[in-house]
A and B are shown apart, each in its own frame.
Chain A
């Protein structure tokens, strides 16, 4: 079961996470019309083969459909929220050009992505304590170098309350 398909690298997480195209919220459907034979559709075919998995990984809520051998020349069509349709002609283009063009027209810009990442980071502050499900640590005793919880490791005699009380009582007498 090790590797499936012609380019199994397309199935690796590393490859999928390398995709940079994150669509704006208004893009709902993406349609690719291309041909299986012919020089002009070569770029479109490579785009479908390599870049569509990356795009779908980054935009799980966008519907992507492929139509083969229905058109004389390959194109992409995007259907937006307000009913607008965006047509992108990709005849004779290279798959890298296509991705860059699509990213430029309908993708979120780098600044926006960074701002979103920052906002997401602000929500989960690693300095907070709480249940293991949401935070890193529950008690300060879990930190390296701190006195561990007496439930797991018994405290040395000198730190226990009763020893100290006995000492105090003894010194008072």
Chain B
């Protein structure tokens, strides 16, 4: 019986030990393999705490029941959370959300289109106004140009007429003798002074 026991000590002890205890003979802790045992611990014999078998049995039953209930609750809540997460990401909630977002997107795009249309209308009006203004300017420039041309022509005509008039008084070979005679007959006196306004002020007497 001892050999059978020694082959597998675990089950025998498990009956009497608390369920959640860890079956460890030594714990390494802070010191390494080669460190010596502490002086205060040389004569220590470790004994596990005493166990009351009746109490142990009762406690085991109660603990199994308790753990069962707690585990069930925990898994229940976990499942709820997972289900909620799933719904949010993949299930009905996500579909509703995508639908809602699509609708919002469409409405916003409609808004944007309306805005664009409004800008388009404003732009059309502005272009029209600009075109009209340009037309007007062009017409005015045309008129101005024409007027300038006419003025130029008129000026030139006036000059021609004036020249023609002056040509009548020119000295030509025909009336050369006549003009010389005239000049000698009427001597002109250039001895006069002028004030700032151009009026004649003084005249000296004519001397040959």
Q: A residues within 8 Å of B by Cβ?
A: 73, 86-89, 91-92, 101, 104-106
Contact = CB atoms under 8 A, between A and B. Distances in A.
A89 B111 contact: no
A76 to B, nearest CB: 10
10 contacts: A73-B123, A86-B112, A88-B112, A88-B115, A89-B120, A104-B111, A105-B108, A105-B109, A105-B111, A106-B108
Interface string B104-125: 0000110110011001101100
Contacts of B111: 104-105
B116 A101 contact: no
State the majority secondary structure of interface residues on A: mixed
B108 A104 contact: yes
Contacts of B116: 87-89
A91 B111 CA distance: 17
Chain B interface size, under 10 / 10 to 19 / 20 to 34 / 35 or more? 10 to 19
Contacts of B109: 86, 105
Contacts of A88: 112, 115-116
A73 B124 CA distance: 12
Contacts of A105: 108-109, 111-112
A92 B122 contact: yes
A150 B125 CA distance: 83
A87 B116 CA distance: 8
A138 to B, nearest CB: 19
Contacts of A91: 119, 123
Interface in B116-136: 116, 119-120, 122-123
A101 B112 CA distance: 8
